Structures are given as C-alpha cells and as structure tokens.
Structure 1
C-alpha cells in the first residue's frame, strides 16, 4: 500500500541490458578458453623438453592415419572456415564502401579487413592442400556479406561496429569449438590447421574488442540488431557444413 500518496514506478531492465550482459559473459568465456589453450601449449612444450623419450613414442602414435570420420570432420571445418573468411571479407568491403573515408573508423575497418584478407588467402591455400570441396554457396555469401556490411554502415558507425561485434563473437566461439575437436583428435596431421585456427581466433577476438572500443554497443537497436546478425551467422555455419 502506498501511504505517501506518490506513484511508484518500477523500471524493468531493457532487452539491450540483458543482451550486453550476455555478450560480456561470452567475451569473458572466449578469453578464458584462449588463455587456457596457451597455458596448455606452454605445458606441452615443457614436457617435450624434459621427457624426450616418452614424447618420441607419443609422436609416433600420433602419426596414425586419420579415420574416415575425422577426415570428414576436418573437411567440414575447412569448408566452413573458408566460407566464413570469404563472408567476413565482403562484410568489411561493404563497410569500407560507405565508411572508408570516415576519419574515426575508416582506418580501423581497413586494418581489420587487411587481416581478413590474410585469413582468406590462407584458407585459399589450405582448401586444395587438404582436397576439400569449397562451399557451393560462395555467390550467396559474397552478396550477403557485402549487403550486411554496407547496410549496417549506412545505419551509422556504431551499427557497423555492432555488426563486427556480433559476427566476430560467433566466429570466435566457432573457432574455439573447432580447437576442442582438433585437440580430441590429437593427430600430427592436424598440427598446422590447429595453429592456423588459433592464430585466426585470436585475430577475431581482437576485432571483437576493437568494435566494442569503437562504440558498438551504442548502436541504434543494438540488441535486436546483434541478435539477428548472431542468428544469421549461426545459420550460415549450419548450412555451409552441408553445402
């Protein structure tokens, strides 16, 4: 009962508040897994130095042929990663078409795009080396990427950065999932791929942090926009594993 005669207004947390909170938790988990992997690598290196005999025998066991299921899994990983880097390139291409001359974010977008170009070239080389069929949906991902990049850039600098944040969050999580699978396989044939994915995962997380620093979460309709892009990226990954 209100004895003071004044109305009491209870404000509910907005969708954006919940979404930002979840994104912060997600980023923290990504960082935690990245750190644990580095610690694991350092521990492995120390073990190799101190127990050469046992490592030699273990290395020999890792030279076993990959099973059919393992090869199909790796082929799917490479196909999806190649398509993802292709889409990312076209997202940044679309953003640069609109914001390339912007004094605040133009150079930032260009720097991130330059890294994505390196990622794409690397997977362009990995595809034939592992005899992987590229995605059949390349024209779709090129068009969708450019439209997404240019469309969010037209909404403003903050929306463009919100797009980057959402995309890189999904890619970072996706790369972490792949690293877990490669660690389980634990085969010498996957060493190069694992190192590539680790490096690119760290680059994507850096892009994610950069987008937050450049006001991604101040974008208009930040919550719904991020959720839609996040869901779209997840759907694209699911489709590309099959096509």
Structure 2
C-alpha cells in the first residue's frame, strides 16, 4: 500500500529559506522617501508573548491568498527588470544598477517558490501573462529612456511597498511561529523594494517624459494585478 500523502500545512516556512535571510549581512539603506512607507509593525517588545493558536481555515485561506499574490508580484517584478536590463545593460552605470535590483528580485521569487511548494499552494494561473506583461512594461519604458525606466520602477515599488505594509499589519494579528517567520521575510523584502524606490527617484525618475501620467497608469495597473492575482 502506498503511504498517504502528508496534508498541506499552512504555514510552513522551509528552514533553508529562513536561514538565508537571517544570516545575510546586507542591510537595506532606507532613506527619506522609503521611510514614508514604513510603519512600526512590531508590537510592544515588553509585552509577554501569548500562547500560539492553531491556524483557522479562514487564516489559512488568507495566507494562501497573500502568498499567491506575493509570488505573482515577484514574478512580474523579475520580468520587468529583465526587460529593463535587456535594453539598458550596455549603459555602464544603469546596467549594473538594474542587475543588482534584479538579483534581489530573483531571490524574492525563489523564496516564494519554495514556500508555495512546501505548503502546496496553487500559484496564479496567469503566470504566462505576468511574464509577458512584465517584460513588455520593463522593456517598453526602458526604450523611452533611463528616466522612464526609473519612473516605472518607482511606480511599481510604491505600490508593492504599500501592499507589503498592508500584509504585515494583517499578519501581526496572527500569533503563530511560522507566520512570524513569514513576517520576517516580508519585512526584509519590503525594505529591499523600498530601497529600489529610493534608487529610482535618485536616478531621475521624476524627469521622465509625462511622468505623472506614466506613474499613475503603472500604479493603477499594479493595483489591478494584485486584485486579479488574489482571485485567479
């Protein structure tokens, strides 16, 4: 008789992923712009921890939705930076800068890949669309010039920063050791996304042609993508 397959455990964070993050020496340099999006997530450090409670089905469903959206978002971000890099890689300053941000996004996606697989959470069914749309957005804005590429990065990372902050506030309501690990991961990723936001602004994002309209369209598109990924 074949052994029964272990039922999914939501949430289980692979130990190797938690270790990668906790031992990293990289400390994001959060400056003026990013701190506007950075709330105080942690509760009173002097308050004694309460006994963890088992996750309810509602909480499991919420976590699965969060992780599916985060995975889709990091997938899209990877392809945005891939598109930007394809166009601007020969620029001696901009090329390496985009590659550095892209490398961080690759790690983010790898971590969420592992978490989804460990918990058998279905990823978004629209993966081919996110890849195509992300590459088109990254390459398209890069073809408009370095400033437009940075305006794209600023717009995307602004939405992602708010999105991760919203998730962190919800995760604070759940007292569970694996959820605490997830909060640590999301906080780390949030900080790196906001570092990208600061970099984009420093690299003249606001000087892009039609900056206001371009940023507004991209931000609305990102918000719509988050809503769709949570459902599909």
Normalised TM-score (structure 1): 0.79
Contact 2:154 2:201 in 1 (8 A): yes
The 5 Å alignment of 1:222-237 reads 222-237=211-226
2:36 corresponds, among 29, 47, 64, to 29
Deviation at 1:206, TM superposition (A): 0.2
Q: 1:171 — aligned with what? A: 160
Question: Where does residue 203 of structure 1 map in the other structure?
Answer: 192
Matches within 5 A, 1:156-195: 156-195=145-184
TM-superposed deviation, 1:28: 4.9
For residues 37-82 of structure 1, give each alpha carbon's deviation from its aligned partner in whole angstroms, at most 9, with x where no partner exists: 3xx36x52xx37xxxxx54xx2xx21x2111111000000000000
The structure with higher relative contact order (CA 8 Å, sep 6+) is 2
- Which structure 1 residue ranges, 5 or more long, are not aligned? 1-24, 49-53
> How far is 1:208 from its partner?
0.2
SS class of match (2:122): coil
State which structure, 1 or 2, has the greater radius of gyration over its C-alpha atoms.
1
For 1:101 and 1:182, how far apart are their aligned partners in 2?
A: 42
Residue 184 of structure 1: SS of its match in structure 2? coil
Q: 1:26 to 1:241 in 2, by over 3 A?
A: farther
Give how far 1:103 is off: 1.7
Count of aligned pairs between the two proteins: 201
Whether the aligned pair in 1 keeps the contact of 2:84 and 2:142 (CA below 8 Å) is: yes
Q: Tell me, yes or no, if structure 1 residue 216 matches structure 2 residue 223.
A: no
**SS across alignment from 1:185:** coil
Q: Given the alignment of the two structures, is residue 139 of structure 1 paired with residue 125 of structure 2, yes or no?
A: no
Task: Return the TM-score normalized by structure 2.
Answer: 0.83
Matched, 1:68 2:75: no
In the alignment, the residues of structure 2 paired with residue 147 and residue 134 of structure 1 have an alpha-carbon distance, to the nearest angstrom, of: 22
CA distance in 2, matches of 1:229, 1:168: 10
The alpha carbon displacement at 1:189 in A equals 2.8
CA distance in 2, matches of 1:27, 1:203: 10
1:104 aligns with 2:93: yes
Q: Displacement, 1:111? A: 0.5
Moved over 4 A (4+): 25-28
Distance in 2 between residues matched to 1:167 and 1:206, nearest whole Å = 12
Distance 2:34 2:103 in 1: 23
Contact 2:34 2:195 in 1 (8 A): no
- Give how far 1:104 is off: 2.5
Q: Deviations 1:213-240 (Å, cap 9, x if unpaired)?
A: 0000000000000000000000000000
